[in-house]
């Protein structure tokens, strides 16, 4: 028996089984012919790797991503590493994209990640103009909530 199945929390296993019953893809036996069933969970085998197939349930997938990404031993890994860690035990279509979206919306990661790319330049004072209208500038504030008139910028 796969040690992943025995270490899977009973709550998560119950949620997976319940989601299988609601997902039409798993109800159609033609779709699951290449999968095997162990302890009520659909298993996908790729070479020597066995992965639990996760049904199309956004809440369940987010919970799995959260458990792995926010595990104290994982340390909030980035998109690629989170997807790799999830793939060790689970599989679903577009897992990498879901992991990327999850990490990009992780509040803790966004507040604490190292900046990438060029840093901002140093602020320099502007020279004082010698005459009126010698220097004109504008600031734009955009992407605001739309007003009743349909405007979204100042």
Domains and CATH numbers, the chain: 3-112 (1.10.340.70)
Q: Which of 137, 150, 64, 126 is nearest to 53 (CA)?
A: 64
Q: Which of 46, 48, 44, 57 is nearest to 18 (CA)?
A: 57
Strands 36-38 and 49-53: unpaired
The CA angle 79-82-87, to the nearest 5 degrees, is 125
Name residues of the chain where pLDDT drops below 70. Answer: 1-7, 115
- Per residue in 39-81, pLDDT (tens digit) is 889 999 888 888 999 999 999 999 999 999 998 888 889 999 9
């Amino acid at each position: 028996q796969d040690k992943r199945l025995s270490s899977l929390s009973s709550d998560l296993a119950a949620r997976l089984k319940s989601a299988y019953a609601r997902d039409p893809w798993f109800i159609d036996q033609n779709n699951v012919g290449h999968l095997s069933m162990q302890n009520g969970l659909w298993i996908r085998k790729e070479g020597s790797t066995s992965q639990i197939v996760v049904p199309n349930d956004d809440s369940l997938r987010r919970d799995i991503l959260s458990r792995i990404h926010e595990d104290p031993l994982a340390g909030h890994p980035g998109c690629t590493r989170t997807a790799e860690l999830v793939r060790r035990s689970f599989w679903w279509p577009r897992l990498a994209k879901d992991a990327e979206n999850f990490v990009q919306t992780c509040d803790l990661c966004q507040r604490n990640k190292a900046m990438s790319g060029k840093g901002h330049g140093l602020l320099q004072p502007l020279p004082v103009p010698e005459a009126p209208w010698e220097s004109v500038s504008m600031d734009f504030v955009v992407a605001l909530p739309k007003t009743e008139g349909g405007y979204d910028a100042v």
